[in-house]
């Protein structure tokens, strides 16, 4: 595991502030938004559709504290772009949006350094104020939208959005999700694509390396991964980039690539300040999580006896809830992962609590992989890996 201290040169202008929202392209935006509200504790925030004058796309925006997800679907049968995206990838993340300062400058720099600009900067205006946007291409079919507020913005969400059409009375009766902000968003790449993608973030967005691990550190009996985490200068946006490594059997990274039809967002980590209450509540709401074996906690108790840190939370409770612990000499983190949130074994979510620990759970990757491998086996996908099966058809990238 490597932690990087060199942030590189401070950009002379322009700034990436934080994640603004995540946009999902799905077959049925209304139902997808309801699932995340019911299971995860989000609430309807804003709506754009036929009733607001949007004739081609419908968008349901939902929010929990600082986390905003948008679910978008096509309204008309002739929408080939969205239809083809769904056929290839299934429901999943289309766009990761960043709130920025000086959108024009960031786009100009990215373009000079070789980024593909999907949509040059444009401004949208409503009674609440003005917002400038731009869209650039990242890995696979995923994009990044830059969002810049042009002065104070008093609108509900973004121009074009109105109040939700309906607020489900059931939501107020359910226990709160206790999720606060997006901690990081992970992108899976085919083998040998991790370094070029992380280099792209460093070159085009002026991000820097924050953390990395290789397959000598992260492997099970069957499978392995490599990962590089890139971040903006202020280190408020973390983007881990993963790729599979050769093992005896197909890794969960490769399974993702196969079912997603190439690279894409593998998981979104949501930060909480009270993971125990969050997971008690999310389980009560019907959320499914991966399960670590009891032997993991037996081993953890032994290791913690000689550790320089003390875990404040009750280990018996963590074991009952199947929450994982990773630590170093200065602090620790607690984390748990959902099962895939759609039928394809692609996107899932993570809940994470940090106590002076800035890693990504490297000490838990083995346990996580083993839990995923159990599910992979049940899906008939923990198959023997050959160099040929590691490859992705060229059409996918």
Which range among 17-26, 210-219, 228-237, 308-317 shows the weakest confidence by mean pLDDT?
A: 210-219
Q: What is the 3-state secondary structure (H, E, C) of the chain?
A: CEECCCCCCCCCCCEEEEEEEEEEECCCHHHHHHHHHHHHCCEEEEEECHHHCCCCEEEEEEEECCEEEEEEEECCCCCHHHHHHHHHHCCEEEEEEEEEECHHHHHHHHHHCCCCEEEEEEEEEECCEEEEEEEEECCCCCEEEEEEECCCCCCCCCCCCECCCCCCCCHHHCCCCCCCEEEEEEEECCCCCHHHHHHHHHHHCCCEEEEEECCCCCECCCCEEEEEEEECCCCCCEEEEEEEECCCECCHHHHHHHHHCCCEEEEEEEECCCHHHHHHHHHHCCCCECCCCHHHHHHHHHHHHCCCCCCCCCHHHHHHHCCEEEECCCCEEEEEEECCCCCCCCCEEEEEEEECCCCCCHHHHHHHHHHHHHHHHHCCCCCECCHHHHCCCHHHC
Residue 85: per-residue pLDDT: 98
Alpha-carbon Rg for the chain, nearest whole angstrom, is 21
Nearest-angstrom CA–CA distance, 158 and 166:
19
Residues 240-294 have pLDDT tens digits of: 999 987 776 778 888 999 999 999 999 999 999 999 999 999 999 999 999 988 8
Residue 393: per-residue pLDDT: 42
- Domain boundary at 142, 172, 202, which? 172
Residues 145-182 have pLDDT tens digits of: 999 999 999 999 999 999 999 999 999 999 999 999 99
Residue 369: per-residue pLDDT: 65
78 and 137 together in one domain:
yes
Residue 390: per-residue pLDDT: 53
148 and 260 together in one domain:
no
- Give 139's contacts (C-beta < 8 A, 6+ positions apart): 187, 189, 193, 197, 200, 241, 263, 264
Which range among 16-30, 172-186, 308-322, 373-387 shows the weakest confidence by mean pLDDT?
A: 373-387
Q: Specify the CATH number for the domain of residue 21.
A: 3.10.180.10
pLDDT at residue 228 greater than cutoff 80:
yes
210 and 243 together in one domain:
yes
Residue 138: per-residue pLDDT: 98
Residues 17-74 have pLDDT tens digits of: 999 999 999 999 999 999 999 999 999 999 999 999 999 999 999 999 999 999 999 9
Nearest-angstrom CA–CA distance, 138 and 136:
7
pLDDT at residue 387 greater than cutoff 60:
no
pTM score over 0.95: no
Residue 395 binned pLDDT confidence (cut-offs 50, 70, 90): very low
212 and 360 together in one domain:
yes
77 and 211 together in one domain:
no
157 and 20 together in one domain:
yes
**Binding-site residue ranges:** 184, 267, 350
Q: Which domain holds residue 18?
A: 2-172
223 and 372 together in one domain:
yes
Residue 79: per-residue pLDDT: 96
195 and 112 together in one domain:
no
111 and 197 together in one domain:
no
- Domain boundary at 172, 197, 220, which? 172
Residue 394 binned pLDDT confidence (cut-offs 50, 70, 90): very low
153 and 187 together in one domain:
no
- Domain boundary at 140, 172, 204, which? 172
pLDDT at residue 139 greater than cutoff 70:
yes
Which range among 44-53, 255-264, 331-340, 364-373 shows the weakest confidence by mean pLDDT?
A: 364-373
Q: At what angle do helices 362-378 and 252-260 cross, to 10 degrees?
A: 60
- Give 60's contacts (C-beta < 8 A, 6+ positions apart): 29, 30, 32, 33, 44, 47, 70, 71, 72, 164
How much is the mean pLDDT over the chain? 91
Number of domains in the chain: 2
Report the share of the chain in percent with pLDDT over 90: 77
Do 290 and 371 meet the contact criterion of CB atoms below 8 Å apart?
yes
**Binding-site residue ranges for Fe cation:** 184, 267, 350
- Give 96's contacts (C-beta < 8 A, 6+ positions apart): 19, 22, 23, 138, 142, 143, 144, 145, 185, 239, 265
Residue 295 binned pLDDT confidence (cut-offs 50, 70, 90): confident
192 and 263 together in one domain:
yes
167 and 186 together in one domain:
no
What is the maximum span of the chain, computed from C-alpha positions, in angstroms? 63
């Amino acid at each position: 595991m490597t932690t990087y201290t060199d942030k590189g040169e401070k950009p002379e202008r322009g700034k990436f502030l934080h994640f603004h929202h995540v946009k999902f392209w799905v077959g049925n935006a209304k139902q997808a938004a309801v699932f995340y509200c019911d299971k995860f504790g989000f609430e309807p925030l804003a709506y754009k559709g036929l009733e607001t004058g949007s004739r081609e796309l419908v968008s349901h925006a939902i929010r929990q504290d600082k986390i905003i997800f948008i679910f978008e679907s096509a309204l008309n049968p002739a929408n080939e772009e969205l239809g083809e995206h769904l056929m290839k990838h299934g429901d999943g993340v289309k766009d990761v949006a960043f709130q920025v300062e000086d959108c024009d400058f960031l786009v100009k720099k990215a373009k000079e350094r070789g980024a593909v600009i999907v949509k040059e900067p444009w401004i949208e205006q409503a009674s609440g104020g003005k917002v400038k946007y731009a869209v650039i291409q990242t890995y696979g079919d995923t994009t990044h939208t830059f969002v810049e507020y042009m002065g104070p913005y008093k609108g509900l969400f973004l121009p074009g959005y109105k109040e939700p059409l309906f607020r489900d009375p059931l939501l107020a009766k359910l226990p709160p999700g206790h999720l606060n902000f997006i901690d990081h968003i992970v992108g899976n790449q085919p083998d040998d694509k991790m370094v070029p993608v992380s280099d792209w973030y460093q070159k085009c967005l002026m991000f820097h390396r924050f953390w990395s691990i290789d397959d000598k550190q992260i492997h099970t009996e069957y499978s392995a991964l490599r990962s590089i985490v890139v971040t903006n200068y202020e280190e408020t946006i973390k983007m881990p980039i993963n790729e599979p490594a050769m093992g005896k059997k197909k890794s969960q990274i490769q399974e993702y690539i196969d079912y997603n039809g190439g690279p894409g967002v593998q998981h979104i980590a949501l930060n909480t300040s009270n993971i125990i209450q969050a997971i008690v509540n999310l389980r009560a709401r019907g959320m499914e999580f991966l399960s670590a074996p009891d032997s993991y906690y037996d081993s953890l108790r032994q290791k913690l006896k000689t550790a320089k840190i003390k875990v404040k939370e009750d280990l018996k409770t963590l074991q009952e809830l199947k929450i994982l612990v990773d630590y170093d000499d200065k602090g620790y983190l607690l984390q748990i992962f959902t099962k895939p949130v759609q039928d394809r074994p692609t996107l899932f979510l993570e809940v994470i609590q940090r106590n002076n620990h800035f890693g990504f759970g490297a000490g838990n990757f083995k346990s996580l992989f083993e839990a995923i491998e159990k599910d992979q086996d049940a899906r008939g996908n923990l198959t023997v890996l050959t160099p040929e099966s590691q490859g992705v058809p060229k059409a996918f990238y």
